[in-house]
């Protein structure tokens, strides 16, 4: 049944891609790079489906998203609809606004975009706090998590004693896994339970966003957990959790390196100090790279069909992407696990009193 679903997902994705490729064919060649980058980067609208109607007109269905900008010490609200296919730049105070390559730029009243030698746009940008596709899917994930766990909590408060049924039967092993095999196995016994809520939230937040990212059509398909801003923010939270509750011994170990001869101390202390930042940095890069790479591989496999312009390669591509989807499902939970486990490990190292 699940395989049928995945095949269905694949068909839908390939339909979308076909629509894009038709568009590309008018230009001559398939722009696989642009297509993939478009799929894995953030966007100001949530693309639903493109098709050509019976009159031969292309139809683009997408969900407009709110645009929130900070300019001239003031917040500005728009609908992203007013920027797509707009003939005139939109007024923002005394300036004008144009959406180009997924970013907002301030322009003159004609909407002139100034590019430098490398083709980068040199116009100034307002601060962008828009609800983009990624933010929208994150809010969706938040609502899902709240729905799941608040109802689970209610159910637990009422029927906590008998063995879990239905949805809780799936959640419970995961919750117990995070509590016992991540928190309690890495962090000192007396401190572990304090970090369990944080680790549980982290684990489920990353996992559900990974899963939403795998779903290839609306309301999935955002590459949130493969976005560096997202992973960086979570890494910052991990950094705070590691260092705020750190024990005295941890800091002593980093800045004094007890028991080492002086010349080694000179080498070791800067290394340890940099290590404080490298640990969350590695967390950030690992999650970002794994999720993005998975998306790129699946999109590339599908793009092969349109690059080679052959229907005969399609079964191979579909089969390979099927395998990749399976792998992605594994990676989704695995990366959430690794992120949480390493955070717990670092917390355990920083809060423990005996090890250093």
Partner 1 sequence: MELLTPSPGLIFWTSLTFIILLLVLRKFAWPSILRALKVREETISFALEDAQRAKEEVEMMEQKRRKIIGEARKEKDAILKEARQLKSEILEEAKEAAGKESQRLLEKANQQIEKQKHDALAEMRETIGRLSLEIAEKILKEELSQDDKHKKVINTYLREMNLN
Single out the segment in contact with partner 1 by CB under 8 A; choices: 105-113, 152-160, 308-316, 341-349.
Answer: 152-160
Where helices occur in 128-166 by DSSP H, the ranges are 133-159
Could you tell me the smallest distance in angstroms from the CB atom of residue 116 to partner 1? 16
Token digits of residue 85: 């296919």
**How many of the other CB atoms lie within 10 Å of CB of 83?**
19
Q: Kindly tell me the sign of the dihedral angle through the C-alpha atoms of 70, 71, 75, 81.
A: negative
Position among 18, 23, 66, 201 found at the interface with partner 1 (CB under 8 A): 201
Could you tell me the smallest distance in angstroms from the CB atom of residue 149 to partner 1? 4
Position among 228, 269, 320, 322 found at the interface with partner 1 (CB under 8 A): 228
**Host H or E run for residue 78:** strand 74-79
According to the binding rule CB under 8 A, does residue 179 interact with partner 1?
yes
Q: For residues 60 and 134, what is the distance between their CA atoms, to the nearest angstrom?
A: 20
Which parts of 29-48 interact with partner 1 (CB under 8 A)?
A: 37, 40-42
According to the binding rule CB under 8 A, does residue 130 interact with partner 1?
yes
Strand-strand pairing, 90-92 and 95-100: antiparallel
Could you tell me the smallest distance in angstroms from the CB atom of residue 203 to partner 1? 11
**Which residue number, 257 or 287, has a Cβ lying nearer to partner 1?**
287
Position among 177, 217, 218, 237 found at the interface with partner 1 (CB under 8 A): 237
**How many of the other CB atoms lie within 10 Å of CB of 108?**
12
CA terminus-to-terminus distance, the chain? 52
Q: Which of 44, 233, 219, 234 is nearest to 131 (CA)?
A: 44
List contacts with partner 1 (CB under 8 A): 37, 40-42, 68, 127-132, 134-135, 138-139, 142, 145-146, 149-150, 152-154, 156-157, 160-161, 172, 175-176, 179, 193, 196-198, 200-201, 205, 227-230, 232-234, 236-237, 292
């Amino acid at each position: 049944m699940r395989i049928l679903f995945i095949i269905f997902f694949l068909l839908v994705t390939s339909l979308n891609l076909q629509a894009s490729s038709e568009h590309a064919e008018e230009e001559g060649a398939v722009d696989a790079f642009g297509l993939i980058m478009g799929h894995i980067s953030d966007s100001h609208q949530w693309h639903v489906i493109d098709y050509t109607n019976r009159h031969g007109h292309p139809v683009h269905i997408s969900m407009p998203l709110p645009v929130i900008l900070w300019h001239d010490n003031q917040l500005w609200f728009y609908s992203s609809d007013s920027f797509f296919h707009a003939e005139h730049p939109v007024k923002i105070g005394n300036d004008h606004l144009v959406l180009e390559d997924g970013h907002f730029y301030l322009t003159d009243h004609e909407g002139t975009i100034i590019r430098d030698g490398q083709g980068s746009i040199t116009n100034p940008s307002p601060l962008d706090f828009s609800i983009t596709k990624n933010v929208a899917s994150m809010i969706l994930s938040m609502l899902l998590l709240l729905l799941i766990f608040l109802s689970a909590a209610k159910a637990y408060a009422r029927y906590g004693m008998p063995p879990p049924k239905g949805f809780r039967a799936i959640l419970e092993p995961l919750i117990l896994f995070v509590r016992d095999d991540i928190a309690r196995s890495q962090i000192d016994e007396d401190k572990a339970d304090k970090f369990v809520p944080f680790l549980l939230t982290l684990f489920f937040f990353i996992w559900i966003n990974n899963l939403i990212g795998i779903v290839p059509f609306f309301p999935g398909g955002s590459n949130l957990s493969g976005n560096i801003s997202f992973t960086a923010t979570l890494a910052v939270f991990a950094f705070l959790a590691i260092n705020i509750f750190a024990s005295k011994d941890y800091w002593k170990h980093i800045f004094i390196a007890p028991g080492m001869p002086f010349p080694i101390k000179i080498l070791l202390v800067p290394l340890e100090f940099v290590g404080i930042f490298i640990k969350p940095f590695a967390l950030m890069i690992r999650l970002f790279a794994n999720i993005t790479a998975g998306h790129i591989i699946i999109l590339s496999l599908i793009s092969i069909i349109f690059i080679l312009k052959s229907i005969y390669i399609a079964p191979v591509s579909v089969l390979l992407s099927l395998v990749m989807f399976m792998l992605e499902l594994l990676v989704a939970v695995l990366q959430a696990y690794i992120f949480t486990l390493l955070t717990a490990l670092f917390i355990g190292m920083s809060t423990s009193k005996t090890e250093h």
